[in-house]
């Protein structure tokens, strides 16, 4: 049931009060199919207590998309590069200002706000049974150089608006609802993706490594954290670790970062798997020399070794036997970097992914063999072949998937099951909590570039699905 009003000043105040209050009367829920679905899903008699009020109808969820879009635009101004690009690097001044902006919005939404020693930020709406494990949502707001303003941000600001929408509807959560702003999902500054969520998931190796990790300016992680107001008096980062199943569920709203939803005209992506990423660093070293002085048969060209390896990566990825295997050489550096100098060193950084570890790992082994073979053939040295990380894939939890699907159905939104080839903080939250993800379309699949864009309608759809999903999961 959905009503729109054109309010006249001549209407008596008591009539307006009655009209707006009417949907909240519990007797109206009895024949509402949406309410019955939520009743069945939760497994609890939700009309036994006023505390368990749920939106009587999915149409009662009202998203203030104009306010949300304004917040997205305002957050994008905290950037080290001019609009329309966004650059927001971990622990820089603009990162700190952006965090302050989000914490203020959490406070205005009535959430209790806390932070841990690396800057993961938590905003909690206590449920009426706060002793139960909470339901969590969230994403990140850091941005790689010259990127866009929607990646991650939709999942943070959209989560705050989802809470606001639930509050406006009159919903009262049984389990507490918590929004997490994850520290440094992007690997830009310290070369570690999903730094905050990895620590939350209990990575002891990372906690130890960060004690000696430095950025490109030789600033240590702990020094940078302290400059932003974190890790003030402690080097031990294990206090960030969360216990397994501290959340009954975690669900992340995100732009797709691929063109499928837009091309197929589908509103919602229900993520079933997140691909397993691996990062590799490779160095070839040759003799170098003058571009005019060394004849071709006499060269030991590290640059050509790198080029040949790049083509070998493409070959092994496309021949893996899995459509979901992808490989990228995102960084290629040649030294000394002069047009008239034969490269004496080549540095590559490689990203290989698949939703199945076996396919991905088989490709990594073939890339390693190819690197050794190329080095021998071209008489250069393979001075480094280092696997930086080799994370396992994550699979969405069935009950979270069901909640997202049911929410989409009730909102009459089209959806499809899909995998995420980009990895997200959800990949690591899946280690400590049942996990799921909600995708919305983005223009041409663009992401990590200024042209990144999600329409207000798609954002509104995603926020509504998130809100209803959180409501369902909260009542379990």
Distance CA 58, CA 55 (A): 6
Task: Check residue 27 and give its pLDDT.
Answer: 34
How many CB atoms within 10 Å of residue 296? Answer: 7
Smallest Cα–Cα separation from 86: which of 153, 185, 177? 153
Q: How far is CA 307 from CA 155, 218, 287, 317, 372, in A?
A: 38, 30, 17, 16, 14
Distance CA 97, CA 346 (A): 38
Task: Check residue 54 and give its pLDDT.
Answer: 53
Distance CA 35, CA 366 (A): 54
Task: Check residue 199 and give its pLDDT.
Answer: 98
What lies within 8 Å, CB to CB, of 379 at 6+ separation is 286, 300
Task: Check residue 354 and give its pLDDT.
Answer: 93
Place of tokens 């990380």: 389
User: CA angle, corner 342, sides to 339 and 344, nearest 5?
Assistant: 125
Task: Supply the pTM of this predicted model.
Answer: 0.82
Read off the tokens for 30.
């009895």
Confirm if 165 and 407 have CB atoms less than 8 A apart: no
Longest dimension (CA), the chain: 95
Smallest Cα–Cα separation from 134: which of 230, 233, 242, 273? 242
Phi, psi values for residue 410, rounded to 5°: -65, -25
Write out the chain in H/E/C secondary structure: CCCCCCCCCCCCHHHHHHHHHHHHCHHHHCCCHHHHHHHHHHCCCCCCCHHHCCCCCHHHCCCCHHHHHHHHHHHHCCCCCCCCCEEECCCCHHHHHHHHHHHHHHHHCCCEEEECCCCCEEEEECCCCCCCCEEEEEEECCEEEEECCCCCHHHHHHHHHHHHHHHHHCCCCCCCEEEEEECCCCCCCCCCCCHHHHHHCCCHHHHHHCCCCECCCCCEHHHHHHHCCCCCCCCCCHHHCCCCCCEEEEEEEEECCCCHHHHHCCCEEEEEEECEEEEEEEEEECCCEECCCCCHHHCCCHHHHHHHHHHHHHHHHHCCCCCCCEEEEEEEEEECCCCCEECCEEEEEEEEEECCHHHHHHHHHHHHHHHHHHHHHHCCEEEEEEEEEECCCEECCHHHHHHHHHHHHHCCCCEEEEEECCCCCHHHHCCCCCEEEEEECCHHHCCCCCCCCCCHHHHHHHHHHHHHHHHHHHCC
pLDDT along the chain (476 residues), means of 10: 34 34 36 42 37 56 97 98 97 98 98 97 98 98 97 98 97 98 96 95 95 95 96 86 96 97 98 92 97 96 98 98 94 97 98 94 98 98 94 95 98 97 94 98 96 98 98 97
Distance CA 464, CA 408 (A): 9
Task: Check residue 277 and give its pLDDT.
Answer: 85
Task: Check residue 57 and give its pLDDT.
Answer: 60
């Amino acid at each position: 049931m959905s009503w729109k009003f054109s309010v006249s000043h001549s209407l008596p105040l008591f009539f307006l009060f009655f009209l707006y209050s009417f949907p909240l009367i519990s007797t109206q829920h009895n024949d509402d199919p949406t309410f019955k679905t939520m009743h069945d899903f939760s497994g609890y008699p939700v009309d036994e207590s006023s505390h368990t009020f749920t939106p009587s109808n999915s149409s009662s969820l009202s998203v203030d998309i104009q306010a949300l879009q304004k917040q997205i635009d305002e957050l994008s101004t905290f950037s080290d590069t001019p609009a329309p690009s966004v650059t927001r690097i971990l622990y820089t001044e603009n990162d700190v200002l952006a965090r302050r902006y989000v914490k203020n919005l959490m406070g205005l939404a009535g959430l209790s706000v806390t932070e841990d020693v690396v800057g993961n930020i938590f905003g909690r709406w206590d449920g009426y049974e706060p002793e139960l494990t909470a339901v969590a949502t969230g994403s990140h707001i850091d941005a790689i150089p010259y990127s866009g303003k929607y990646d991650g941000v939709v999942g943070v600001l959209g989560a705050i608006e989802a809470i606001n929408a639930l509050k406006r509807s009159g919903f009262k959560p049984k389990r507490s609802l918590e929004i997490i702003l994850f520290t440094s999902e992007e690997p830009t500054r310290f070369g570690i993706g999903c730094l905050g969520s990895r620590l939350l998931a209990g990575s002891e190796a990372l906690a130890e490594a960060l004690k000696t990790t430095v950025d490109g300016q030789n600033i240590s992680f702990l020094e940078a954290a302290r400059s932003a107001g974190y890790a003030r008096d402690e080097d031990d980062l294990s206090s960030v670790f969360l216990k397994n199943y501290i959340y009954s569920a975690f669900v992340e709203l995100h732009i797709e970062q691929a063109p499928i939803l837009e091309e197929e005209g589908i509103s919602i992506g229900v993520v079933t798997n997140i691909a397993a990423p691996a990062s590799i660093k490779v160095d070839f070293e040759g003799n170098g020399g003058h571009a005019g002085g060394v004849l071709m048969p006499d060269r030991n060209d590290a640059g050509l070794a790198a080029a040949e390896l790049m083509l070998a990566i493409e070959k092994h990825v496309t021949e893996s036997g899995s459509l979901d295997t992808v490989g990228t050489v995102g960084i290629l550096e040649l030294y000394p970097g002069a047009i008239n100098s034969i490269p004496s060193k080549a540095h590559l950084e490689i990203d290989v992914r698949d939703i199945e570890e076996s396919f991905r790992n088989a490709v990594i082994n073939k890339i390693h063999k190819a690197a050794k073979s190329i080095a021998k053939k071209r008489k250069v040295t393979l001075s480094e072949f280092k696997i930086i990380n080799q994370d396992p894939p994550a699979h969405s939890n069935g009950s979270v998937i069901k909640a997202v699907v049911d929410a989409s159905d009730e909102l009459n939104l089209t959806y499809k099951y899909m995998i995420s080839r980009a990895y997200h903080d959800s990949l690591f939250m899946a280690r400590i909590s049942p996990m799921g993800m909600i995708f919305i379309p983005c223009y041409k699949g663009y992401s990590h570039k200024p042209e990144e864009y999600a329409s207000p309608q798609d954002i509104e759809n995603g926020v509504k699905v998130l809100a209803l999903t959180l409501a369902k999961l909260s009542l379990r």
